Amino acid sequence: MNANSQQPPASAEHSDNGADTTHFGFRTVAESEKSGMVRAVFDAVAPKYDLMNDLMSAGIHRLWKGAMVDWLAPRAGQSIVDVAGGTGDIAFRMLDRMGDAALPVTICDINAEMLNVGRNRAIDQGRLNEVTWICGNAETLPFPDMSFDAYTIAFGLRNVTHIERALAEARRVLKPGGRFLCLEFSKVLVPVLDKLYDAYSFQVLPWLGGMVAGDREAYRYLAESIRRFPDQSTLATHMGTAGFAQVKVRNLSGGIAAMHSGWRI
């Protein structure tokens, strides 16, 4: 099954009644509805989110996240915000890298259920005080200007309603010299692999989501949202438009995922 043949044209800026619209997977919805719809998806899958990540990527997501932290190379004393990182997976990796002198990492996630999962993991690991937990929207971050040395977001940017607003907010809360680093699904660049990945995404993922997480449609949305997300070069252009400098891209697993880095100069 070729996902590109399924993907509809980009949704219009306005619906017939004049309301602003956006995409939710392959559906066109009112902009005012998307954040609530995304929240509902992650409410449903939060308890099995990390397990599903392991199953649907055969554990490869751990290597991708490790590569992200390696590229960031966080240092003790840096103030870091991890956006859309509710379960703590990225934050805990950064804390392990920085050691005992690390400042608490701030996690900001729009989804309270995902934050609850992360807090429970932190309690189990005896590190609750190493993280500051904030429920907030990536498009309107609840932080002052120039608050952080680094901003990370993993598999969250494609779920925002306005990517350009989220990027502008990321730059706003970074200190001069601060770094933005995004890990996200992207455009497969390897011939044949793209066809296999399409078939897996639209046939296996929804089935797996139904069996394990009890929500087939949530994982259908996942596959569709990946196809609607900008490819590597387009996202890099968006970052430049938002004011980031020295934008660089690193592909992972043939482009199934990609990391985008930029700096606030």
Predicted confidence (pLDDT) per residue in 150-172, tens digit: 999 999 999 999 999 999 999 99
- What is the rounded CA–CA span in Å between residue 114 and residue 130? 17
Residue 1 lies in a domain: no
Residue numbers of the domain that contains 221? 34-263
Residue 19 lies in a domain: no
Domain count, the chain: 1
Residue 202 lies in a domain: yes
Residue 11 lies in a domain: no
Residue 5 lies in a domain: no
CATH of the domain at 155: 3.40.50.150
Helix (H, G, I), strand (E, B) or coil at 175: strand
User: How do strand 257-263 and strand 174-185 relate by DSSP bridges?
Assistant: antiparallel
Q: Place 28 in a pLDDT band, splitting at 50, 70 and 90.
A: confident
- Quick one: which of 83, 85, 69, 38 has its CA closest to 218? 38
Mean predicted confidence (pLDDT) in 81-95: 95
User: How do strand 131-135 and strand 148-154 relate by DSSP bridges?
Assistant: unpaired
Query: Does 59 or 258 have the greater pLDDT score?
Result: 258
Residue 58: HSE in the Cβ half-sphere, 13 Å Cα cutoff: 3
Task: Take residue 233 and report the two structure tokens written for it.
Answer: 């070069």
Residue 91 lies in a domain: yes
Residue 25 lies in a domain: no
**Quick check: 31 pLDDT over 90?**
no
Residue 246 lies in a domain: yes
- Quick one: which of 84, 124, 134 has its CA closest to 104? 134
